[in-house]
Amino acid sequence: MPGYGVNGAWMRKEAALALGRVQSELQPQGLGLLVYDAYRPIRATKAMMAWARRAGKWNLIKQGYIATRSRHNHGIAVDLTLVSLDTGIPLDMGTPWDAFHERSHTRNASGSILKSRLKLERIMKKHGFRPYKKEWWHFNFSIKKTKPRDVPYACFEPEEGAWLAPKNWEDSTYKAEKNWKPHPCK
């Protein structure tokens, strides 16, 4: 996906520090955080929308599972889960991360799954994050007056403001390059 040239999870400093406080509070409980996604370049959000149109999945945008404008683009959103520090295995949250389904709604669970989801929600809220009720894994940090950015993760991607979408990428006939490999950074 454009904008995700290398592994990484960036956030604004204030949000990252708050996330560190969450991690510190979880540690005595034998728990930690596994971050799936954080800052997302605007080009990646546009790519998700183009895929939804191309694949006939516009309903995912209308239902709120794919954002047309994302707080991820501001560096203040994070997708994560709880993990056992002993095993490194994520707790059972009932659905995979990024499952576009009503089963992913935070309170659409019961038993130990609901308990784990609510534990994650409570501790994130305590440290300044707001939950998104349709995705148990998604939280926004409360910082005012941020702006969306398109900073690429990798040195081989176009600079902020220079990226252009591939021609016809919203058409059902568009085929993404399958054998793309990044070139080494200097």
pTM (2 d.p.): 0.88
Instruction: Give the pLDDT confidence of 103-153 residue by residue, as tens digits.
Output: 999 999 999 999 999 999 999 999 999 999 999 999 999 998 999 998 887
Residue 165: pLDDT band with limits 50, 70, 90: confident
* Closest CA relative to residue 36, chosen from 19, 49, 59, 50: 19
Of 21-35, 72-86, 89-103, 149-163, give the lowest mean pLDDT range. Answer: 149-163
CB-CB neighbours of 75 under 10 Å: 24
Percentages (nearest 5) of helix, strand, coil residues in the chain? 30, 15, 55
Residue 183 confidence (pLDDT): 66
Q: Print burial letters for 36-54: b (CB count within 10 Å at least 16), e (below 16).
A: bbbbbbbbbbbbbbbbbbb
3-state secondary structure 72-92: HHHCCEEEEEEEECCCCCECC
In angstroms, rounded to a whole number, what is the distance separating the alpha carbons of residues 17 and 34? Answer: 15
Output the CA–CA distances (angstroms, integers) from residue 99 to 13, 27, 28, in the order listed.
Answer: 28, 27, 30
**Domain 13-141 maps to which CATH number in 3.40.190.10, 3.30.1390.10, 3.40.30.10, 3.30.1380.10?**
3.30.1380.10
Percent of the chain past pLDDT 90, that is, above it, reads 54
In angstroms, rounded to a whole number, what is the distance separating the alpha carbons of residues 23 and 28? Answer: 10
Domain range annotation of the chain: 13-141
Output the CA–CA distances (angstroms, integers) from residue 87 to 82, 136, 137, in the order listed.
Answer: 12, 22, 20
In angstroms, rounded to a whole number, what is the distance separating the alpha carbons of residues 74 and 93? Answer: 26
In angstroms, rounded to a whole number, what is the distance separating the alpha carbons of residues 180 and 5? Answer: 11
